[in-house]
Amino acid sequence: MQLPKRTAALKSNQLINRAKSPAVALETTILVHGLPKQRALEVSNQLEQEVTNAGANPALVGVVKGAPTVGMTRDELQAFLDAEQIDKLNTSNLGHAIHAGISGATTVSTTMELAECAGVRVFATGGIGGVHQNYHVRPDISADLFALTRHRLAVVTSGCKNILDIPATREMLETLGITVIGFKTDTFPAFYQRETDLPVDTRYDDPHELAEFIDFELARSGRGIVVANPIPVTHEIQLSEWGNWLSQARTLPSVMDSKGRDATPALLAEIHRLSDGKTIEANIALARSNANLAGSLAAALSGHD
């Protein structure tokens, strides 16, 4: 069943929609702010290839000189990478970028908002944002969580990023009423680790059966769904090794001084450096695996249009 396009957030004539069904939305923040910039083009090609191999069409999302775009061209992405600085857009600064004609990379929250406007139902990322550690001191909770309550898409993610307070993030997903599906797993994955002791709401092992549930549930609830897909076994990082890098990174001035939307990119960049690039390869591997699963889900869903 094809869902009606949502136009409340944007007039449809403001949206550049190049998505071709069955489409998978991909985000620009992971490319511009989450990984070293010199890898971005290669990673973007790999993610698009994974979607294509699974039988769907990739649609890269971002704001290009104020134009919300679903299906960015290679040249548009290149211009983002050539720019000295590109804004990171979450729910709170998306509207200003559009109004002022600024370019910006979309996070999970704003990729969901724009992709929903374009009628896309599946989105692949690396790991969603969530509740940051020490949130009782400074309550940094990602706009991604709230976007999942508003926008009707299935988001394929390797759990949440493990720089976060993972149990608190899992509780928050529950509190907000966001369904968390484990794909071939009974526990909520933690980005670089395949397993935690935290539950998922239910488990699916077959992409076709999962697509049937997504089709039903998106239409029923009009809200988002998390599809939690653990990192491939070959790239999993041991918890002890990970813990060392994370605790070292937290003591660095670049991390301690970064606040708000700069906090996540600063921490990821330092960990990528401390791990000698091991976390970069793991991050790319999990994002590719998510793109592939998202492609299979979108292809299976198109059978229901």
When the beta carbons of 191 and 302 are compared against ligand PSU, the nearer one is 191
Site for Mn ion in 106-145 (CB under 5 A): 140
For ligand PSU, give the closer residue by CB, 15 or 160: 160
Q: How far is the CB of 194 from ligand PSU (least distance, A)?
A: 15
Are 136 and 108 in contact, with CB atoms under 8 Å apart? no
For ligand PSU, which residue has the nearest CB? 126
Q: Smallest distance, Å, CB 12 to Mn ion? A: 30
What's the closest the beta carbon of residue 35 comes to ligand PSU, in angstroms?
7
Give catalytic status of residue 161 as yes or no: yes
Q: Which is nearer to Mn ion, 112 or 211 (CB)?
A: 112
Q: Quote the CA–CA distance of 154 and 55 in Å, as a whole number.
A: 17
Q: How far apart are CA 134 and CA 215, in angstroms?
A: 37
Asked whether the bond before 22 is cis by omega within 30 degrees of 0, the reply is yes
Contact 114, 7 (CB under 8 A): no
SS (H, E, C) 217-265: HHHHHCCCEEEECCCCHHHCCCHHHHHHHHHHHHCCHHHHCCCHHHHHH
Per DSSP, 161 falls in state -
Q: Pick the binder of ligand PSU from 124, 287, 293, 297 (CB under 6 A).
A: 287
Structure tokens at 290: 């998510």
Q: Please say which residue, 44 or 302, places its beta carbon nearer to ligand PSU.
A: 44
What are the distances in angstroms from CA 182 to CA 153, 198, 210, 226, 257?
A: 16, 11, 10, 8, 36
Q: Which residue among 116, 161, 236, 270 is the active-site one?
A: 161
- Write each residue from 28 to 67 as x if it is in contact with ligand PSU (CB under 6 A), else as -, in one continuous string: -xx--xx---------------------------------
304, two tokens: 């229901």
Helix and strand element counts for the chain (H, E): 12, 11
Give how many residues touch Mn ion by CB under 5 A.
Answer: 1
> x/- binding map, residues 107-126, to ligand PSU, per CB under 6 A?
xx----------------xx
In whole angstroms, the minimum distance from the beta carbon of 136 to Mn ion comes to: 15
Binding site for Mn ion (CB under 5 A): 140
Binding site for ligand PSU (CB under 6 A): 27, 29-30, 33-34, 90, 107-108, 125-127, 129, 142-144, 261, 264, 268, 283, 287
